[in-house]
């Protein structure tokens, strides 16, 4: 049972023993596998959290506080 739990954790992290962690051109395959292991709703949640984090670091207002009628020159 512990082995199954360990394999599940590795799968959730995007890597199983024997699988390459990076492609020949340096792409992190574990990150791709991890994202593909998520449901579409979970992927959206990760994306929204990343956007909020970037906005906070830039000093911008969080998306939730922006008016729906605010227009942005970059299309957002």
Domain spans of the chain, in order of start:
2-65
Q: Which residue has the higher pLDDT, 34 or 76?
A: 34
Note the pLDDT of residue 25. 94
| CA geometry: angle 12, 63, 43, nearest 5 deg | 20
Average pLDDT over every residue of 30-36: 90
**Mean pLDDT rounded to a whole number for the chain:** 75
Provide the phi-psi class of 22: left if phi over 0, else alpha when psi is between -120 and 50, else beta: beta
End-to-end distance of the chain based on CA atoms, in angstroms? 47
In this prediction, residue 14 has a pLDDT band, given cuts at 50, 70 and 90, of low
pLDDT in tens, 54-73: 988 988 765 555 555 455 55
Average pLDDT over every residue of 14-42: 87
């Amino acid at each position: 049972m512990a082995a199954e739990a360990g394999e599940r954790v590795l799968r959730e992290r995007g890597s199983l023993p024997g699988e390459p962690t990076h492609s020949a051109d340096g792409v992190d395959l574990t990150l791709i596998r991890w994202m593909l292991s998520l449901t579409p709703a979970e992927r959206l949640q990760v994306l929204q959290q990343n956007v909020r984090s970037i906005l906070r670091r830039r000093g911008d207002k969080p998306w939730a506080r922006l008016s729906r009628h605010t227009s942005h020159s970059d299309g957002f």
